Amino acid sequence: MALMGRKIVAIRAYVVEGGGADYHDQGEEHWIVQQIATPMSIYPEYKATRTSFGINALKTLVVEVEADNGVTGFGITTGGYPAAWLVMNHLDRFVVGKDAHKIEETWDQMYRASLYYGRKGIVMNAISAIDLAMWDLLGKLREEPVYAMLGGVVRKELQFYATGPRPDLAKDMGFVGGKIPLVYGPADGPDGLKKSIELAADMREKCGPDFRLMWDCWMSLDLQYAKRLMQASADLGFHWIEECFNPDDYWAYRDLKKAAGNKIMVTGGEHEASKFGFRMLIEDCDLDVIQPDVGWCGGMTELVKIGNLAEAHGKYLIPHGSGAYSYHYVATKTNSPITELLMQSPKADTVVPQYYPLLKDEVMPVNGRLDVEKAYEGKFGFGVELNKDKSLIEIKKGVGLGVC
């Protein structure tokens, strides 16, 4: 199939409600929206559930790009209606009419053109979705999976850890580790800290000494509280403590890492974006593991650069969630020893596809492992397909946010 000169003739943006990339868009019975320590936990009215402060407000963004031969690629992330509007009313001009292989140029133009209001957050989510869609399209045009375009796999299979409230169940399902969402933060005082340490001790006893256990603190802690939790968890053999602070508080990360010693790793970066933000986490904060989300940090184009920077500094890169998009990347990198699966079942007791129900026949790990070459054999791009039965709300060019 001829590739050079193949033009992108259309870009489309959709919003999806109820699951998908916005994995917090769940019912109130789901563990992921129940009480978990957050930056809003200091306010009693926003503590009991994460949906109370609108964690599921944005919804899923789907971006589709189409080549002049009718082949399409798509990328998904969060950002919903605001991000879809940006795609169709600003960023589209850098995509339509572009040669399909000019991913780097497209990324650079989108990033530079949005610097005055972007750099992180919803704008970078929108750029990420477009970038992923272009990688998906290019793979389909070349008839190659993305992992092949990234240089090919370096390991036979991926090994997964599970994020959810029941790492003991995750161990039984074959995962190599379990990351526990922290329930109690500084607003809960010494009693809350005691409950967290008791839970950590209970899970260590249930999971045994060799199973990786980690904390997911979701931006909810202050430095002194994080130090106390970290020390107690290190004594219990926890593998790492993750994303303790406001993502812009690089100084707290730096000081926590200095206090960590060699018994436990300090990690973060889920809500960071671009190589410049990760340079701070790597060089100034000296984090052991950086955790970019490929749907938020700038897409595959930027993830590759972030990963190279991490590797040059001897750091691990273990992406946050992001399903198939992460699988293709992790399979090609020696400094990505494990990868994450967010437990999407309401009680974290079964394995559910990462983007359920948005994708059809989505690949999942079996017994905590995945052979990427085998899983995506005969598939091109990211090897995922939209579930057309899922309602896709198209956002048209020129249409205001309030009129869909």
Active-site positions read: 320
CA distance 311 to 298: 18
Tokens representing residue 163 in the block: 């994020």
CA distance 372 to 47: 39
Distance, C-alpha 343 to centroid of its chain? 13
CA distance 160 to 130: 27
- Strand ranges, E, within 79-204: 158-163, 177-181
Contact 300, 266 (CB under 8 A): no
Helix %, strand %, coil % of the chain (to 5): 35, 20, 45
Contact 404, 395 (CB under 8 A): yes
Which residues are bridge partners to 401 per DSSP?
Answer: none
Tokens representing residue 170 in the block: 């995750």
Contacts of 177 (CB under 8 A, 6+ apart): 161, 162, 167, 170, 211, 212, 213, 214, 239, 338
CA distance 129 to 20: 13
Which residue type occupies 167? P
Closest CA to 293 of 121, 85, 37: 121
Name the strand (E) or helix (H) holding 260. helix 250-260
CA distance 64 to 78: 14
Closest CA to 125 of 60, 57, 64, 65: 60
